Structure 1
Amino acid sequence: MERRDYFLTHAGLKFHVTEWGCRNGRPILMLHGIRGYAETFAGIAAALQPEYRVIAYDQRGRGQSDWDPEAQYFTDVYVADLEAIADQLSLAHFDLLGHSMGGINAIAFAARHPQRVDRLIIEDAGPGAFEHSEGARRICRELLATPSYFPTWEAASEYMRLLRPTVGEQARQQRLKAMLKRAPDGGHTWKYDHTGIARTRLNPDPKRSVDLEELASLITCPTLVVRGGRSDYLHSDMVAKMQNLNARFHAVVIADAGHYVHDDQPQLFAAEVVKFLSCNHELPARECD
C-alpha cells in the first residue's frame, strides 16, 4: 500500500498529513480523537484499498503537528483547520470519517459544508456524549490523572494497559509510538500538548460550545453512526436521538467494542465502513495510476 507523509501550513502551524493509496482514488478524510493521531487509521486505510485515497492528519497539538501556543483547541478552530487542509489539497468534495472528538468536528464541518461531504461516518460520537456521558467523565478523569513523564518504555506500556485494557497489545504499542517522545534524560514524555488540551477540555469556554443536535439535523449526506456495544461514551439513546433528528442517519452497533471501535474490533469496523461506502457510491469511477 502506497503511503505519503508531508506537512501543510495553516494559521502559522505545521500540520503533519499522511495519505494511503493511489493519488487518484476516491478521497476520504479521517479525523482522530482528543488524544489521537493520523496513524491510528492505518488499519482502515488498508481495508479501503485499492479504491480509496485515505487522508488523515495530526490535528493541532497532536503527533507531528505543531502545538498551538494559545491552546485554541476548540471545535470551530478544528473545523477551520479542516477547511484549510481540504482547500490546500484541492478536495472539492470527499467522504469524511471522524472518531470521538474527530466525529464532533466532522459533524460540524458537514453541516457547514453540505456540498463538500459526499458521505459521513461518525465513530462513537454524537449529541450529549461530550457533555453528559460516563465516557466524557472518564476522559476528564484520565486527563487529570495522566502522568506527564515515564522513566521507561515499560512503565508507559503498563500505564497504557491499565488505560486501554480491551485494546490488543500491538495496537497499544502503536499508540505509544505515536504519542510519546524521548525526554532529555532518556525517559519518555507525551508528544501531544497534554497541558493545553486538558485545560480546554476540563474548563471549556461556553461561548465556543456547539449545538450538536442542531448540527446533526443539518446534515444532508448519507451518514453512518458506528457505536461500540460496550461504549461508555455514546449511549444507545443518543444514537436514537440522532436518527430522530435526521432520517439520513443509519446506525450500527459493533459488539464487544468500547469507545475505540476501530482499535477494539478493527475487522468488524472495517467491514461496516466498506459496506456503507459500497452501498452509497455516487461518484464517478476513478482509476489508479
Structure 2
Amino acid sequence: MPDVRAHRVPGPAGEIAVTDHGGDGPDAVLCHGANRTLLDWEKLLPHLTGLRLVSYDLRGHGRSDAPPDGDYGWDAHLADLDAVCEALALDDPRVIGHSLGGVIALCHGRRRPDGPGVVDLDGFGGGRPELYPGLDAETVAERRAEQLAVYSAALKPEILDAGQAGLVLARARRAADALGLDAELEEAGARRSLRPLEDGRLLRRPGASAQKELMRPLEGWDTFTAVRETSCPVLLVQGGQRPQLSGLPAPFRELNEALAEGVRRGLASLREEARPGLRITKVPGAGHMLHLQAPGEVGRLVREFLVP
C-alpha cells in the first residue's frame, strides 16, 4: 500500500493542505473544483496506478488558508501549485483537474509548452458571451450575476452553530443521493469545508462572501482558446449526461442550455482542427461529477493518456 502522508506547506496566501498519496511512476498533481476539497479524488485514486499522486485543497477551501487579499486569480492558483511542487520536490508533474481545477490544469499547461501533459475533467465553463450562443453579452452578464447571487445566498450563514452545521451535512448527503454519489464521502467533504472557531462555532469555507471573487477569473475565460494556446499534451474529458435543468427558473435554464450548446460547438471545432497532442473524449454514463460517478472509466482514460 502507498504511504499516504498529510502536509501543511507554506504558500503565497498562507498554508496549503496537501496529501501525498505516494505511488510509483511520474509525479501528478490533482486540483479539485470550486467549493469542493481534495477528498473529491478518493474514488479516482485507486484507478490512477502508475503515477505518484499528490492532491491539495485550493486556497480558501477545505483546510487551506484563504487569501487575505481575496485573490483567486489564475496566477494566484498557479503560485499555490508551484508552492506544492516545490515543497514536495515534484519533478515537472502532470496536472489533473476537475471543473475549476481543470482550468487551473490548462493554465499550467499553457505556461509549460514542453510539459508532460494536463487533464481537464469537465472544466468548460466561462463568462465570455461567445460561449452562450443565442444570448447577447448584456443578458449573459446579467443572468450569470443573478445565478451567482442565488448560489451565494444558499451558502449563508457563513458562521454556523452545531445545529446549522448538521443541516449542511444532511444537505450534502441528500445531494449525493440525487446524483448517485457516495453519501459518506460527500458528508466528509462538507465537514472538511467547516473550520472550527474558538467559540465552538464553525466557519463555512469558502462562504457566500468569497463566491464573487472565486468566480471572477472565469468572466474572461474560454477553455477552447486556452487549448489552442497550449502546446503540451491536453486531455479533455466531458461528462456525457446532459445536466438536469428542468428545475431551474426559466432565465437560468436558458443560460445553462446556451452554455451547453456553446461547449458542444467549442469541442466540435477543436475536433475538426485535429490539433497534435490533443485528445477529446466523453464518459457517457456520467455528468459533471464524472470522476465520482465513473471513477474506473475516468481513471482508465487518464492513465492511457499520461502514463508512459
Coarse TM-score class (shorter-chain normalised): 0.7 to 0.9
- Equivalent residue for 2:278? 249
Report the CA distance between 1:106 and its aligned residue: 1.0
Q: Deviations over 1:176-214 (max 9, x none)?
A: 232224466766542x23244312146x379x8455443
Give, in angstroms, the shift of residue 4 of structure 1. Answer: 0.9
Match of 2:84 in 1: 85
**TM-score with structure 1 setting the length:** 0.80
Distance 2:208 2:156 in 1: 11
Q: Which amino acid aligns with 1:198?
A: Q
Classify 1:85/1:21 alpha carbon distance in 2 versus 1 (closer, same or farther; 3 Å): closer
Q: Is 1:152–1:187's contact at 8 Å kept on the other side of the alignment?
A: no
Letter in 2 for 1:10: G
Name the structure 2 match of 1:156: 168
Partner SS, residue 97 of structure 1:
strand
**TM-score w.r.t. length of structure 2:** 0.76
- Residue correspondence of structure 1 range 21-32 to structure 2 within 5 A: 21-22=22-23, 25-32=25-32
Cα shift at 1:162:
5.0
1:99 matched to 2:95? The reply is no
Distance 1:163 1:142 in 2: 15
Aligned to 2:9: 8
Distance 1:277 1:146, change over 3 A: same
> Does structure 2 retain, via aligned residues, the 8 Å contact 1:73–1:197?
no
Q: 1:1-289 alignment to 2 at 5 Å?
A: 1-22=2-23, 25-49=25-49, 51-115=50-114, 117-126=115-124, 129-131=125-127, 132=131, 141-148=150-157, 149=160, 151-152=163-164, 154-161=166-173, 163-164=175-176, 165-166=178-179, 167-182=181-196, 188-190=202-204, 192-201=205-214, 204=216, 209-210=220-221, 212-232=223-243, 235-244=263-272, 246-278=275-307, 281=308
- The answer (yes or no) to whether the contact 1:99–1:125 under 8 Å persists in 2 is yes
Structure 1 residues 244, 108: CA separation in 2 closer, same or farther (over 3 Å shift)?
A: farther
Once the two structures are TM-superposed, the CA of residue 5 in structure 1 deviates from its matched residue by 0.8
Shift, 1:270, TM fit: 2.0
Cα separation, 1, equivalents of 2:235 and 2:297: 14
Match of 2:254 in 1: none
CA contact (8 A) 1:75 1:209 kept: no
- Rounded Cα–Cα distance in structure 2 between residues aligned with 1:198 and 1:130: 15
The SS at the match of 1:20 is strand
Contact preservation (8 Å) 2:58, 2:77: yes
AA partner of residue 249 (structure 1): L
What letter corresponds to residue 36 of structure 1 in structure 2? R
Total equivalences in the alignment? 270
Larger deviation: 171-180 or 92-101? Answer: 171-180
Distance 1:183 1:83, change over 3 A: closer
Report SS of the residue matched to 2:126.
Answer: helix
2:287 maps to amino acid: G
Aligned-CA RMSD value: 2.9
CA pair 153-268 structure 1, distance change in 2 beyond 3 A: farther
Percent identity among equivalent residues?
20
Cα pair 1:17 1:58 within 8 Å, conserved: yes
Relative to structure 2, which stretch is displaced further, 171-180 or 102-111? 171-180
Q: Which residue type is aligned with residue 239 of structure 1? A: L
Structure 1's 74 and 8: CA in aligned 2 closer, same or farther, altered over 3 A?
A: same
